[in-house]
Structure 1
Amino acid sequence: MKLFWGCFLALITTSTAFITRAILISTPDLWPKDFGLSPVSSGELFGAGLWPFAITIILFSFFIDKVGYKAAMFFSAVCYVIYGVMVLNAYSLVHPGGGALTGEALTAAQGKAWPILYWGSVILGLGNGTVEAFANPVVATLFNREKVKWINTLHAGWPAGLVLGGVITILLDQVVKNDWRIVVYLLGLPAIVYLVMLAPAKFPVQERVASGTTYREMLAEFGVVGAMFASYMIFRELQNDFKWDGSITLILVAASAVAYGLYARSLGRPLMIVFCLIMTPLAITELGTDGAIGGLMMDPMEKAGLNPAWVLVYTSAIMMVLRFFFAGPLVARLTPLGLLAGCTALAIVGLNLLAVAKGLAFIFIAASIYGVGKSFFWPTTLGIVSEQFPKGGALTLNAIAGIGMLSVGIIGSPLIGRMQEASWQHAIEAKSPGTYQKVAIQDTYVLGNYSKVDPKAITTLPPTEQGAVTSTEKDAKQGALSAISILPVIMLVSYIGLLLYFKSQGGYKAVYLNDAESPAGH
């Protein structure tokens, strides 16, 4: 169990690093003030920690069995150390000797600090992704008879880190504003503990390797179709970050798929492809809606004199408790797919309630229903993939997680923004016919073209029309949560179809390597 708890603490470190960096970037009195970050540069800096996180989870899985899980663990710890050193160095540039620069000297120092912050964030993302890349297959191997339960328990560490990071920033609010370095120092505590716990530990041989399943057989489980899907996500994300032409992305995807296919000689398991496709709406439902719901709850929280960050702490605490204490009993009673279907139904109800909720109490009730619904999505899916495709080893288990993370940024955020814009358009047209055409501009996103409101055009409108536009924005974007519920509807239909499929096969049952005595299906 010491190995499991070390992995658990490593995941807590990952999510604590994720949320504290997000707070440092988004709080005006912290990094934006010290380093002169604009909304655009803040977004670039936030993205610099995300794409390496997601991509590392996938790419590391191709060779992690060769380099070893302990080596991956040490690499992640080194990344955290380098990140800490780099951001502290960036601080010293704008606060030499503990003082504060002004004028041209400050501007010059901020220019020097920017690449340090950017590449420090990239290195942090590499460390975060590596933790996921080693922790998931290690726990799946340690508990290969109860994968869904224990992967859920492991992933209680993610919301636990969010709770820890949120509470730190709330309780130390003024201290952090005076000197944000304390957040970096505190991040070192869980990192040191997991390093001390895991450094002497003996890591197991991953079940795929122990069974004698070859590397080619592992690749064949994921197959050309899975590889094409994953490589598109990877190169599309890199296209967004490095601004290369879309044709380069297509060439890279095609080349990757051909190379993968020549070696693996398999299109992939059809069921694996189904889970890859389901992972996109799942990830958007679980992670992509956080910003919209957080914004919805901010006003009533501030009116009640409460820090809006308590919303994150509250919803994360729900997820932490449910994953840690209730995943096992619920899986035993409902089966993994039954649990996902039930949770999806709750998420649908929760999103539609949030779309119309008014007042702090109603919003919290709706958010609680939604929070319970989405709690088991991610780790249960990882557990099912590991149970159904054990020959896929670390690759299938981690690739599904990486695809989910990349889906949020590439498809989820733009899609939700598109839905909110459409809802706002209908509200404006209903209140003031003809006004929308005066403020609308055309834009594109990954799924095509759409129209959106141009903020600059609003200022040119007569006062009555300005009021029609601005007064409808908040309610319209809140109402878009109802449209977003189409995503869990798609998931629910998919899970019902999978339940029927497994029923036709004698019930859901895990697949075991080198074991003829698999338990009976549910």
Structure 2
Amino acid sequence: MPNIQTNKLFWASCMALLVTSLSFGIRAGMMGQLANEFQLNATQLGTITATAFWGFPLAIIIGGFIVDAVGMKRLLVAAFVFHLAGIALTIFAQGYWSLFLSTLLIGIANGTVEAACNPLVATLFPENKTTKLNHFHLWFPGGIVIGTLVVTLFVKVGLSWQWQVAAMLLPTLVYGFLFSRLDFPKTERVTSGYSTSDMYRAVLSPLFIFMFICMFGTAITELFTGQWIGLLLKNVTDNALLLLTLTTGIMVIGRAFAEPVVHKLAPQGVLLLSAIFAASGLYMLSTLTGSSIFLAAIVFGIGVCYFWPTMIGFVAENIPGSGALGLNLMGGAGMFAVSIYTVFMGSFYDKLIVKHLPAGADLKVYSKASEGSLLAQDLNEAKNMAGPEILQATLVIPLILVLAFTGLLLYMRSRKIRAAKSLHAI
């Protein structure tokens, strides 16, 4: 039974992850505002968005290597400082480069939070890792829901995007205060007696490398689509931002009730069903229009709901010797893949828009056209066609994951049978 100290550490971790997710939700909601105020094209927006994903893997991988030595508490103090600096610089941003740097700082803060909190949760709940990691990670989509609603509310009442960013200050100060007053345990790898050489052998095992590669696909499917859904579908529906809110709302509910699902299907079964639903939802998002697109968002939300925490939980349960480094390499792999993919698809999106404009069109000229003009109408029509094409290109990724996780399910089943036979022989 968890004690009071364990529960306090868990809820403080959830508050830190809430700040991480607010940074995603609020930034996703104000992408259009930033584009208009600073005259940014899709490539520049893609680069700024990707910067958060660059800082994240940088911090989480470095954190994975040093967390056993410096302790989880010191990492979270560093995360608090980076969050404050990134938020302040965003509020006072003057253009592309200040947005770039502020997003990088917030990305580093976000990665540092996960570098400390993923192993912390696994250490606090050694008998129920995957379920508690799902409960912890429900605050990521939860924060995105809150963030998008904050953006919607602030826009309606006429408050600027600077006020939207400032909304992150309160939970940041709260988690900084909570962690400063709590004592932290040593990581599970250290207390379980796994040596550093055991850890490195574990992260070089074929099973870990397979999961590491699969993390590329699960992260891109979830996070790229979530960050860009408002931009890609804003001309397909008048409520594109609400699609993100609906999808992440489904993720909150799913992760909150993860325990019976994980216990019934095992992590590998959950991952296979997730890939099937994610592929179906992404296809529906790229083809449906009108009110039916909200059904697509629900299916997609069910699909990506368990990806991130269950990938990390699978490693924690089945490759325990990898320790904090293994968990953090998984998170770093996911965010790094999203950063590369986001930059590539931002440029690809611009090219698709140009393809759907009249021959010889200059995208910069069309982007500066006044609203309601013929040029603006042509641009909207081009975006209307280009957005779903981006989603269709991304659909290949969850389809590959369906095959990969089918193989994983069969492998884990055969391993369980072999283990049972060995035990019976003894």
Q: Give the whole-Å Cα distance in 2 for the aligned partners of 1:71 and 1:400.
A: 21
Alignment of 1:376 onto 2:306: yes
8 Å CA contact retained: 1:208, 1:391: yes
Quote the Cα distance in structure 1 between the aligned partners of 2:286 and 2:35: 33
- Indicate the SS of the match to 2:416: coil
Contact 1:297-1:311 at 8 Å conserved across structures: no
Q: How does 1:258-277 map to 2 (within 5 A)?
A: 268-277=204-213
Q: Relative to structure 2, which stretch is displaced further, 413-422 or 397-406?
A: 413-422
Q: Which of 486, 491, 499 does residue 401 from structure 2 map onto?
A: 491
Count of residues in Structure 1 that have an aligned counterpart in Structure 2: 405
1:296 offset after TM fit, Å? 5.5
Do the aligned partners of 2:316 and 2:327 also contact (CA within 8 Å) in 1?
Answer: yes
What's 2:40 paired with? 38
Contact 1:356 1:479 in 2 (8 A): no
Q: CA deviation at 1:413?
A: 5.5
Structure of larger gyration radius? 1
Moved more, 347-356 or 310-319: 347-356
Task: Classify the secondary structure of the residue corresponding to 1:63.
Answer: helix
CA 1:504 to 1:420, structure 2 compared with 1: closer, same or farther past 3 Å?
farther
Measured at CA, do residues 298 and 69 of structure 1 come closer, stay the same or move farther in structure 2, by a change above 3 Å? same
Q: Deviations over 1:239-263 (max 9, x none)?
A: xxxxxxxxxxxxxxxxxxxxxxxxx
| Aligned residue among 226, 229, 249 for 1:317 | 249
> Aligned residue for 2:174?
193
Of 6, 11, 14 in structure 2, the residue corresponding to residue 5 of structure 1 is 11
Q: 1:376 to 1:137 in 2, by over 3 A?
A: same
Match of 1:260 in 2: none
Match of 2:20 in 1: 14
Q: Does 1:82 align with 2:85?
A: yes
In structure 2, the residue matched to 1:350 is: 281
The answer to whether the Cα contact below 8 Å between 2:25 and 2:145 also exists between their aligned partners in 1 is: no
Letter in 2 for 1:323: R
| 8 A contact 2:272–2:402 mirrored in 1 | yes
3-state SS, counterpart of residue 62 of structure 1: helix
- Asked if the contact 1:297–1:363 (Cα under 8 Å) also holds between the matched residues in 2, the reply is no
User: In percent, how many aligned pairs have the same letter?
Assistant: 32
Which one-letter code corresponds to 1:4 in the other structure? Answer: F
Secondary structure of 1:299's match? coil
- The one-letter code of the counterpart of 1:397 is L
- The amino acid that maps onto 2:169 is G
Displacement, 1:353?
2.5
* Counterpart in the other structure of 2:185: 204
- RMSD over aligned Cα, in angstroms? 3.5
Pick closer, same or farther for the CA change 1:507–1:196 going to 2, 3 Å. farther
Describe the superposition over 1:154-181 as per-residue Cα deviations: whole angstroms up to 9, x where unpaired: 1101111111111111112155x54444
Asked if the contact 1:420–1:477 (Cα under 8 Å) also holds between the matched residues in 2, the reply is no
SS in 2 for 1:355: helix
- The secondary structure found in structure 2 opposite 1:506 is helix
Gaps of 5+ in 1: 92-109, 223-267, 429-434, 440-452, 459-466, 510-518
Partner AA of 1:484 in structure 2: T
Using the size of structure 2 for normalisation, the TM-score is 0.83
SS in structure 2 of the partner of residue 298 of structure 1? coil
Going from structure 1 to structure 2, the CA distance change for 1:423 and 1:333 (only over 3 Å counts) comes to farther
When residues 85 and 300 of structure 1 are mapped into structure 2, their CA distance, relative to the original with a 3 A threshold, is closer
Deviations 1:18-57 (A, max 9, x none): 3324444x233x5853xx4533655544444331122111
Q: Any gaps of 5 or more consecutive residues in structure 2? A: 1-6, 367-376
Distance change in 2, residues 1:470/1:49 (3 Å):
closer
2:214 maps to which of 252, 275, 278? 278
Q: Using the alignment, how far apart are the partners of 1:469 and 1:185 within structure 2? A: 33
Relative to structure 1, the CA distance from residue 345 to residue 46 in structure 2 (aligned partners, 3 Å threshold; closer, same or farther) is closer
Deviation at 1:67, TM superposition (A): 0.9
1:404 maps to which residue?
Answer: 334
Q: Does the C-alpha gap of structure 1 residues 419 and 492 become closer, same or farther in structure 2, counting only changes over 3 Å?
A: farther
AA aligned to 2:118 is N
The equivalent residue for 2:264 is 333
Q: Where do 1:18-417 residues align within 5 Å?
A: 18-24=24-30, 26-28=31-33, 33=37, 36-39=38-41, 42-88=45-91, 90=92, 110=94, 116-175=98-157, 177-222=158-203, 268-290=204-226, 293-295=229-231, 297-299=233-235, 301-302=237-238, 307-324=239-256, 326-360=257-291, 362-411=292-341, 414=344
**SS of 2:193 mapped into structure 1:** coil
**Aligned residues of 1:32 and 1:42 also touching (Cα < 8 A):** no
Q: What SS class does the counterpart of residue 168 from structure 2 fall into?
A: helix
The alignment's TM-score, normalised by the length of structure 1, stands at 0.69
How far, CA to CA, are the matches of 2:120 and 2:317 in structure 1?
A: 14
Q: Which has the higher helix share?
A: 2
Question: Is this contact kept in 2: 1:140–1:386, CA < 8 A?
Answer: yes
Per the alignment, in what secondary structure is the counterpart of residue 172 of structure 1? Answer: helix
Q: CA deviation at 1:414?
A: 2.7
Alignment partner of 1:503 out of 400, 413, 416: 413
Distance apart, 1:315 and its partner CA: 1.2
Q: CA deviation at 1:295?
A: 4.4
Distance 1:44 1:415, change over 3 A: closer
Q: CA deviation at 1:195?
A: 2.1
Give the Cα separation in 2 of the matches to 1:276 and 1:190. 31
Decide whether aligned partners of structure 1 residues 31 and 202 sit closer, same or farther in structure 2, where only a CA change above 3 A counts. Answer: farther
Q: C-alpha displacement at 1:337, in angstroms? A: 0.7
Q: Is the 8 A contact 2:130 2:262 kept in 1?
A: yes
Q: Distance in 2 between matches of 1:508 and 1:156?
A: 35
Deviation string, structure 1 residues 498-520 (Cα, Å, up to 9, x no partner): 111122122599xxxxxxxxx99
| Residue type of the alignment partner of 2:77 | F
Matched residues in 2 for 1:401 and 1:508: separation?
A: 31
Distance in 2 between the 1:332 and 1:190 partners? 33
Question: How far did 1:489 drift?
Answer: 2.1
**1:335 touches 1:508 (CA, 8 Å); kept in 2?**
no
Contact preservation (8 Å) 2:247, 2:300: no
